[in-house]
Structure 1
Amino acid sequence: MVIKEPSKSSVSKRSSEDNFPDYAPPPYDWTYAPDELPQKSSARVGGGSSLITVGDDGRIEVDLNTKLGRALSISIPNPPRYTLQDVIERPENWLIKLNIVIQVVGSRGDVQPFIALGSELQKHGHRVRLATHNVFQDFVRTSGLEFYPIGGDPAELMAYMVKNPGLIPSMQSLRQGDIQRKRAMVAEMLDGCWRSCIEPDPVSHTPFVAEAIIANPPSFAHVHCAQALGIPVHLMFTMPWNATRAFPHPLASIKLGKTDPMIANYISYGVVEFLTWQGLGDIINKWRYTLDLEPVPLSEGPSLTETLKVPFTYCWSPALVPKPADWGPHIDVCGFFFRDAPNYTPPPELDAFLKAGPPPVYIGFGSIVIDDPKRLSAILLEAVESTGVRAIISRGWSKLDGPPLPHVLYLGDCPHEWLFQHVAAVVHHGGAGTTACGLLNGKPTAIVPFFGDQPFWGNMVAAAGAGSKPIPHLQLDAKNLAEAITLCLTPEAAAAARDIATKMRAESGVKTAVASFHANLPCTRLQCDIFPDRSASWTIKKGKKEIRVSKLAAEVLLWNIKIDHKTLKLLETKRTHMENRRWDPVTGASSAAFGTASNIVDATAGIFMKPYEEFKRNDSNVPTPVSDGHSSSSASDRDNGEGSSHSIMESSGRSGMQTAGAMAAASGKSVGRVVTSSVKSIVDVPLAVAEGLRVVPKMYGEEPKNHGEVTDWKSGVIVAGKSFGHGMTDGLMGLFVQPYKGARAEGAWGAAKGFGKGVIGVPTKLGAGVVGLVAYPGQGIAKSIRSAAHSKTRDRILMLRHEEGRWLLRTAQSLDQSQVISTYDELMRGKRTHAAQITIE
C-alpha cells in the first residue's frame, strides 16, 4: 500500500471548494501488489461471474468488472458533504452523571481499551458497567469497573475466526457444525447484552438501568437495546466500519476493472455489511421480537448505523490514519486507548533474561487460537536461529513452546505496556491494541495477520516505514519471518517507529473519546429539571407544562404524594426511529406484497408443521429450553459470574393431554399469524405506495418532503394531513415553479427540464397525498394496537427504573426532600425555567 502525500495547495483547494474540514486526509492508494496479500480466489459466491468471491486470506473480493459491479459503480450515490458549520460543539465541562453500559465482544485485546475508557468515564462521575464475556470478569473488576457477563466463549470465537478469517465460512466449518454453534453463541450474547442494560449488579445486586450505551460493532445488540430503552448509543472501534471513499473495508479486497478506486472503496462497505446481515439478520430479528420491537427490514439491516447516523469514535492514531473527508461530524478519530501503566515487577527469570544480553525481539500472538501450535513454534525458533537474535516468545492462548535455549525465553502473561519498553522489535498478529502499544514505545513491528482488521494494521505500519509488509499466517515460514525481523532491526525502521511514537504521545486518545461521547449526547433532553447532574428518566405533564425528572426526583415526589404513578411517563432521551425506506412506488408495492405473501405462506405451513414439532418434542428425551423473555439468572449464578442464559428447561415428559393441548395451541398461533399477516397487508401495501410516490422527486435531484414520524393513530392523522396538503400544493404549483427555477439556473434548457419535473410531480405528489390519507392513519392505528399488545418490555423498564429510584432514595445522603418539592412546585407554576442547584452525596 502506498500513501501519496499531497501538496499543501491541493489540500487547501479541496477544503475550500468542497467545504471539507481542514483535517482532510491524504489520498490513499490501496493497490495491493501480489506479494502483499494473497488474491487468489478459493471460493465463489453466486456463480462464475459473481460480484463476490472469497480470497485465500479470507477477505471478500469485490469484482467490479462484472455487470453487477459496473451497475453498482454507476448507481452509487455521492457521499454526503459536510461543511465547517456541521462540526459538533464539544462541551468543556460535562455535568450530567449517567449509568453507562459498555458492551464488548472479542478477545482480551478488544476488552482492554474499553477498560481504559471506562476508567476515564468514571472520573466524570459516570457509573460504568463493562459487559463482556464471562472469562474477563476478574480482569474487569480488578480494574475498578462493574462487570456484567454476556456469555460467549472468546477462545472459541478466536478459533473460529482463524479457520474462517472472512465473512463466508469454509466447507469444513459447515460440516463440523461450527456455524450453528456460532449463531447460537450470538443469540446468547444478544440476550446477555440486553440484560446488561437493565439487570442489577451480579455481585452487589445494586439496581442498574442504562442511560447510555457504548459498544463495539461486533456486539450487534447496541442499536436495538438503545431503541428499546430510548437512550443514546455510541459505537467505538479499532477498524473502519463507516463507508468512505478513502480506503476499502478491511475485510474486502477490490478488483477494479475500469471503476474509479474511490467508488470501489465506497461499495466495499455495503458488500461487507450486506453479507454480515445475511448471516445474522434472522437471529437479530427473532431476538428483537422478545424486546417487543418490530423486525428490521432486509433492505435496512445492513446500513442501519449509517442511516441512523449513530455516533462513531475510532480508536486509532490520526498519525497513522487521518479522518477521511467524507466522514461527518458524528464520526471522530481520536487516538489509541491506553490504560494507565500497571505496577509490574518482572519475575526473576524474565528480569535475568533481559539483563543477560542485548534487547530481545518479542514474538507473540495473544488470543489467537492456532490449530497446530507445534508447527508454528518450530517456524519461530528456526527464524530466531537464522537471524541470531535473542527472543521472548509469548505462549498466548495457543501455548507456544519449544526446547530450552539460552537465547529464547518462553513467557506467560505479561503486560505489554511494561514489556515493550525492554525489547528491540515486536512480531505479533496485528491486533489494534498490541500494534498501538508497540508503536507507542517506538518499536519496529512485523505483523502476521490472521483475520479481521489485522491486515489493515499490518499495511498501515508498513506504509509508515515502521516495519515489514504483513505476512499472512498461511504464508508464514522461517525464511520470510527472518527477513521481516531483519528489516525491523534496521536503523530506518527504528527511526520511523520513533517518529510515530513522538506523534502518538502528543495524543490523548481516551480523553478525546470521552469528549466525543459527551459531544454527541442530547444534553437538553438528558438533564433532569430538578437535579441538574442527573439524567432524566420520566416526564411529568400538567396542562401545557412538562418537566423532565430523574429516577431519584420521581421517587421523592411519589414518596411525598406530590404525584402518582400514572402522572409519570417514560422518557426517551434519544428516540431511535427505524423505517422501511422505499425507492419508488413500483418496487415499494411489490416488495410489500411479496413480504406479506411470504409471511402468509410461512404461517400457513406452521398450521401443520408446528403441531408436528410439538409432537416430536414430546417424543424426545432431551429437555427443551424455553425462554421466558424476561427472567434473569439466579442469585447463585450471578455470584459465580455465570448467568449467560436465562432460559428455563421444559420437561419433555408431558402427558398425552398436555401434548395434544400444546399441538392445538401451536396450530392456533399459526392461524393467528395468517390472519394478522393478511390484515397487515391492508396497511403495508398502501403505505409502500404512498412512500414510494413521496420519494420519486429524489430521482431527479429534488429532496422529498418529510412529513414527520408516525408513532400512533394521532400522529398518523397529522402526517396524512400534511402529506395531502403538500401533495396538492406542490404537485399543482410544480407545473409553474419548477420551470421558473430551472430557467433561473440554466436558462431555456433549465426551463425545459423544470417543466418535465413539474409534469412528473403532478401524478406522484398528488398520488402520494391521496394514498397517504389512507396509508398513514392505517399505519398509526396498527402501531397503536401493536404498542398495546406488546408492552411487556416497556412495563419491565418502567418497573426497573422505579426500583433503581427507590434504591437511590434509600442510599442518598444529605438530601433535602423539601427543596425538591419546592423546586417542583416552582417549575410547575412557571416560576423557574432552569434546573435547580440541588446536590446530594
Structure 2
Amino acid sequence: MSRYLNIGIKFRLTGFVALTLIYISCTYNTLVLLAWKILHYTREVCGFGKKTGKCADLVIKNLKCAELVKNRSYNQRTWDDGIEPPQEIDWEKPPVYELIGSGQNASTNVVVQGRVAINILTSHKLPTLVPIPSQPKPYTLLNSSNSKPPNLNVVIQIVGSRGDVQPFLALGSELRAAGHRVRIATHDVFRDFVTATGLEFFPIGGDPSSLMAYMVKNPGIIPKFETIMSGEISQKRKMVYKMLEGCWKSCVEPDPQTNTPFVAEVIIANPPSFAHVHCAQALGIPLHLMFTMPWSPTKAFPHPLANIERSDADPHTTNYLSYGLVELMTWQGLSDVINLFRKKSLSLEPVPMTMGPVIVETLQVPFTYCWSPAFVAKPLDWSNYIDVCGFFFREEPSYTPDEELDHFLSTGPPPVYIGFGSIVMDDAEQMTAILLAAVRASGVRAIISRGWSKLETGQHDPNVLFLGDCPHEWLFKHVSCVVHHGGAGTTACGLLNGRPTVIVPFFGDQAFWGQMIAAARAGPQPIHHKALNENNLTQAIQYCLTPEAANAAMEISYKMKAENGVQTAAQSFHRNLPVDALRCDLLPEEPAVWLYAKSKSKNPIKLSDKAAFILAEHQKVNPKHFKLYQSKPITIQNLRWDPVSAGTSVLLGVMFNFTVGFSEVFTGPAKAFQSKENGGGGREAAVTFGKGLGKMVGVLPKATLVDFPLALTEGLHHIPAFKRIFISLIF
C-alpha cells in the first residue's frame, strides 16, 4: 500500500492442440513436437482429408482432444466436497482486528456490525507519507476507436447472490450478439437461471445461501469474534479456496454438458470472485472488472464498507484513504488462501504483501461500474479506464400474474412492496411481525415477498399478500413504493419505475445505496435491519408516500430511461481491449494464439489456430518454431519506487505479522480450551499462546537486521539521485 499508506506458466487448449506446460520437465522443442503429434492424431481420429476447408473448426469440437487436456492439465490438484484442501496454511487463522500505521496517523478496527471503523489523525507528516493524487492517472485507451475485435471466448466470473448474477446475464447476451462466445461462471444453484438465457454455464462451487447467512451475521469484510470461535471462518475460507479453483477451471475446462473445449481469451469478473487477476496472469489475457458498488479509490465518497469514526483530515483525504485501509484488511484475511491457490493451481509466485491490496489499481485494470451516472455521477478523480455506464437491465420477462395476485392488485390502491430477496435472516418471525405492525400503522396495503428467509405468517390479513417469485420488472409497475435490503439490482429496478425507496441494509454496499437515495430525496435515510422497528419503518413508509419523494424518484427515472447501461458497458469493454494484440496477423477476424519466428532476429508473426493449421497443413511453417502467445502479459512485482516506499513496505509486512501474532495470542488459547484434543485443551492452549507470542517477537529482529536494510538498498537503486548521494557519502 506504499502509494497512499506509505506504508508463465500457461497452457492453452486451441482448436487443434492440447498442450500442458505445468510441472513437465522437458525441453520446449519436445513439447512443440508433442503438440504437433496430437494435432495429427486428432486429424486422423476425425477423418480429415488434406484438402478439408473446415478442418480447423472441426478440430475445435474434437472431444478426444478436450479429454486429453482435461486429464493432463495443471496436475489436477483441485479438490471437491469430499476432499480436504491442502493443509499448508492455517485455515482457522484469525483476521487482524486492528491496524495502526504511521505513528497512529491512520488506524482501522472492526466494529460490532463487522464494518471497518477508520480513525485518521493528521500531523505534519501525513501529506508526505500519504500522497493523494491531484488528478487521475494517465492512461491510453487500447481501442479508442472502438474497432471490432475478433470473436473471443469470454468467461464472466461472478460470486454473490441472484441479484449479482442477473446484470451479467444482460451483459452476456449483449456480448454474444456481438459475436463472442460467452460463458457465465458462478454458483451451481444458478444453473437454470443462466441457461434459460441461452448462455453457457460453468459451476464454480460455493453456496450463496450459506454466504448470505454468513454475511448477515458478519456484515462487513471481517468476521465477528464469535464466528471465529465457532469454526465457521475455517469453513468459509475453504469455500473461498474452492471457488478460486472453480474460477480457474472456468477458464480452461470444456463445457460440462457438451464437452466442447473452451479456453478463455478474456475475463470479465466482479471483484469478490478474487481469482480474476490471477487467472488472467496465468493465461496472459485481458481482464475487465465490473461491479455494482465503488471499489476504486476516490475523494468523492468513502468506501461503502468503511465507517469513518473520526478524522482530523479533510473529508476528501479521508474518503480516499478509506479504500486503501479496507483493501488492507481484506487482503490480510485472504492473502494466504489466494497465494496457496497461485502456488498449487497456477504455479505462480506469491503476491507480495505490499502489492496485494493495490494490485488492480497498480495494473490499471479496466473497471466498469453498473449504476446510473444520473444517480451517482462518475468522480472527477477516476481515470478514463474507469467507466460508469448505467444499470444493467435485462429484457423484461414475459409474466402473467396468478389469480390471487391479480385480484389483490385490482381490488384496492397500489400496495407497498416489501422484500429482502436472497437475505437469510436468523429470526424471520420477528422481522415479519415488525413489517405487519408498520403496515397497519401506516394504513397501507402491502405485498411482502417471502424471499430466502421465508417471511410468512399463519394469520390472514386482507391488506397483506405474501408472495413467492415474481419479476420485479413487472411487479414494481403496480406498487406505490418499495422497501428492500438495498441490493443494487432491486434499487435500480425501483428507481427505473420511479418508486420512492426505503433501504433496510444488512451488509456490503446496501447502506451506500440507501445513503445515495436519501441524498436524492427519493427515500429516507437507510435503517439498519438491527435498528428496524415499527415506529421508524412507519415513518419511512409515510415519507415515501409524500409528493417530494415521488417527484424525486420520478426525476431519477426520467434520466435512467434515457440510458442504456448494457450497451454502454459493452462499448467500455471493447474500448479497453488490446484489439491489435488480439488479432491474428494473417486472419484479423481470428484471435491470435501462437507466435511464429524462425529466429530471434526476425519479427514474430501472430497466428490464430486456423492460420497455423493451414500453414502447417501446406508445410509452409515448421511447428517447432511455434510459441504460445500472451495477448496481455501481466507482471506482479513488489513495487519499491524509492527508499521511503521500500522501507514502509517492510514495515507494512511487520505490522501484519505482529498483529496476526497478537490476535493468535488471545484467540488461539480460547479455541484450544474448547478442544478435547492434545491433553484436554490446556496443553494445546499453552502451545498456541507460545506460537502467537513467537510471531510477535520474532518478526521484529528479522525486520530490523535483514528485511529493512535490504529493502532500503533496493529502493535506493531505483533513484539515480539517491544513488549519487549514497555513493558520495561512502567515498
TM-score bracket for this pair, using the shorter chain length: 0.7 to 0.9
Match of 2:115 in 1: 59
| Residue 178 in structure 1 maps to residue 232 in structure 2 | yes
The root-mean-square deviation of aligned C-alpha atoms, in Å, is 3.1
Task: Calculate the TM-score normalised by the size of structure 1.
Answer: 0.66
Give the one of 519, 522, 527 matched to 1:466: 522
Give the one of 443, 447, 466 matched to 1:392: 447
Residue 539 of structure 1 aligns to a residue whose secondary structure is strand
Q: Cα 1:765–1:500, aligned 2, differ >3 Å: closer, same or farther?
A: farther
Task: Give the residue type in structure 2 aligned to 1:495.
Answer: N
Give the one of 715, 723, 727 matched to 1:692: 715
| Residue 420 in structure 1 maps to residue 382 in structure 2 | no
Deviation at 1:172, TM superposition (A): 2.0
Task: Give the residue type in structure 1 aligned to 2:548.
Answer: E
Give the one of 85, 92, 97 matched to 2:151: 97
Partners of 1:530 and 1:549 within 8 A in 2: yes
Taking the aligned partners of 1:684 and 1:490, their CA distance within structure 2 comes to 63
Deviation at 1:61, TM superposition (A): 1.4
Q: How does 1:59-458 map to 2 (within 5 A)?
A: 59-65=115-121, 72=126, 74-79=128-133, 81-82=135-136, 90-290=144-344, 291-402=346-457, 403-458=459-514
Residue 426 of structure 2 aligns to a residue whose secondary structure is coil
Deviation at 1:584, TM superposition (A): 4.2
Match of 1:790 in 2: none
Residue 439 of structure 1 aligns to a residue whose secondary structure is helix
Match of 1:762 in 2: 724
Taking the aligned partners of 2:99 and 2:364, their CA distance within structure 1 comes to 32
What is the percent sequence identity of the aligned residues? 58
Taking the aligned partners of 2:465 and 2:384, their CA distance within structure 1 comes to 48
Deviation at 1:477, TM superposition (A): 0.5
Give the one of 504, 507, 512 matched to 2:568: 512
Residue 369 of structure 1 aligns to a residue whose secondary structure is coil
Match of 1:497 in 2: 553
Q: How does 1:369-768 map to 2 (within 5 A)?
A: 369-402=424-457, 403-543=459-599, 544-585=602-643, 588=646, 688=711, 691-696=714-719, 760=722, 762-764=724-726
Taking the aligned partners of 2:648 and 2:540, their CA distance within structure 1 comes to 57
Task: Give the residue type in structure 2 aligned to 1:350.
Answer: L
Unaligned runs of 5+ in 1: 1-42, 600-618, 621-682, 697-726, 732-759, 771-841
Partners of 1:540 and 1:548 within 8 A in 2: yes
Taking the aligned partners of 1:251 and 1:78, their CA distance within structure 2 comes to 20
For this pair of structures, how many residues does the alignment match?
Answer: 583
Could you report, residue by residue, the CA deviation over 1:792-813 in whole angstroms, capped at 9, with x for unpaired residues?
Answer: xxxxxxxxxxxxxxxxxxxxxx
Deviation at 1:592, TM superposition (A): 7.8
Taking the aligned partners of 1:51 and 1:267, their CA distance within structure 2 comes to 11
Give the one of 84, 95, 98 matched to 1:45: 98
Partners of 1:215 and 1:235 within 8 A in 2: yes
Partners of 1:166 and 1:452 within 8 A in 2: yes
Partners of 2:187 and 2:203 within 8 A in 1: yes
Deviation at 1:203, TM superposition (A): 0.5
Task: Calculate the TM-score normalised by the size of structure 2.
Answer: 0.75
Q: Cα 1:594–1:143, aligned 2, differ >3 Å: closer, same or farther?
A: closer
Residue 289 of structure 2 aligns to a residue whose secondary structure is strand
Of stretches 312-321 and 529-538 in structure 1, the one that deviates more from structure 2 is 529-538
Q: Cα 1:476–1:211, aligned 2, differ >3 Å: closer, same or farther?
A: same
Could you report, residue by residue, the CA deviation over 1:600-642 in whole angstroms, capped at 9, with x for unpaired residues?
Answer: xxxxxxxxxxxxxxxxxxx99xxxxxxxxxxxxxxxxxxxxxx
Deviation at 1:108, TM superposition (A): 0.2
Residue 724 of structure 2 aligns to a residue whose secondary structure is helix
Deviation at 1:453, TM superposition (A): 0.3
Unaligned runs of 5+ in 2: 1-95, 658-676, 679-705
Name which structure has the greater RCO, CA cutoff 8 Å, separation 6+: 2
Deviation at 1:143, TM superposition (A): 0.9
Deviation at 1:439, TM superposition (A): 0.2
Task: Give the residue type in structure 1 aligned to 2:98.
Answer: V
Deviation at 1:585, TM superposition (A): 4.9
Deviation at 1:594, TM superposition (A): 12
Residue 357 of structure 2 aligns to a residue whose secondary structure is coil
Q: Cα 1:585–1:263, aligned 2, differ >3 Å: closer, same or farther?
A: closer
Q: Cα 1:158–1:71, aligned 2, differ >3 Å: closer, same or farther?
A: farther
Q: Cα 1:196–1:51, aligned 2, differ >3 Å: closer, same or farther?
A: same
Match of 1:816 in 2: none
Deviation at 1:45, TM superposition (A): 2.8
Q: Cα 1:72–1:552, aligned 2, differ >3 Å: closer, same or farther?
A: farther
Task: Give the residue type in structure 1 aligned to 2:566.
Answer: V
Match of 1:21 in 2: none
Task: Give the residue type in structure 2 aligned to 1:288.
Answer: R
Q: Cα 1:90–1:184, aligned 2, differ >3 Å: closer, same or farther?
A: same
Partners of 1:91 and 1:518 within 8 A in 2: no
Task: Give the residue type in structure 2 aligned to 1:554.
Answer: A
Deviation at 1:424, TM superposition (A): 0.7
Match of 2:36 in 1: none
Partners of 1:359 and 1:423 within 8 A in 2: yes
Match of 1:24 in 2: none
Bigger Rg over Cα: 1
Taking the aligned partners of 1:243 and 1:194, their CA distance within structure 2 comes to 27
Partners of 2:143 and 2:574 within 8 A in 1: no
Of stretches 45-54 and 405-414 in structure 1, the one that deviates more from structure 2 is 45-54
